[in-house]
Amino acid sequence: DRKPLSRKLNDSEMILPKMSKRLSSLVIDFDLPNYEAFKRSWDFGANRHRLVHKTGTALKRIFSASDGVAGRIYGHWLQHAPSSLRPYATFNRMPTTEKDFMSLQLMLLYGVSGLTPPKGDLYDIKQGIDRFIFKNIFTRTVGNKNREKALQSIRKSFKDLAPTRMKDAEELFDLFWDYHKPVSELAFNGEVWK
């Protein structure tokens, strides 16, 4: 159950309403440079744009456990824009730059363990299986109490994201965590995630 805070925001949290106000005043659009970029942004099978909604401009922080523990910032529709579109985002017709840290959470696990991660994309571990499947497995594992809770969450997400993979959830979970066996013991360690 997610509940709104029953206290005033502290000084560091005051950035959220300031950012929300600024974001809501911007005209956010995409400046696609060519037809190839357009093709990557269009779902030809469904005959619609890959950006399915442009609602939500107020940022919010959702804590992963109790008030003030971990958490991420959510709420703006641009966060849901396909990665193929984000490089072309404009704010008031000015180009933007997106900074990304590839596989950041997994890299942090390896760092906390004092280990060197495998080379390459840490989610691209088996040919023929989209990396988003393994990234989803990882994000659904983090913060769960145990393997069964993680698998339950993974199956639920696969129902919408990849229905044909629901039956393979356990096998894919094992494949992912066998690949990342050196840090797998930290997967359910709540203290590490805090």
* pLDDT tens by residue, the chain, 194 residues: 567 778 888 888 888 889 889 988 999 999 999 999 888 888 888 888 888 777 887 888 777 667 766 667 778 888 878 888 888 999 999 999 877 677 888 998 999 999 999 998 899 999 888 888 999 999 889 878 899 999 999 999 888 878 888 899 999 999 999 999 999 988 888 777 66
Distance between CA atoms of residues 140 and 190, nearest Å: 13
E strand segments, 18-176: 28-30, 42-43, 48-49, 60-62, 72-74, 89-91, 94-95
Report pLDDT for 58: 80
Residue 184's contacts (CB-CB under 8 Å, 6 or more residues apart) are: 177, 178
Sign for the pseudo-dihedral over CA of 18, 23, 24, 25: positive
Distance between CA atoms of residues 78 and 174, nearest Å: 33
Question: Three-state SS for 140?
Answer: helix
The model's pTM: 0.58
Report pLDDT for 42: 86
Report pLDDT for 72: 72
Sheet of 94-95, strands arranged across: 28-30, 89-91, 94-95
Residue 46 in tokens: 């469904």
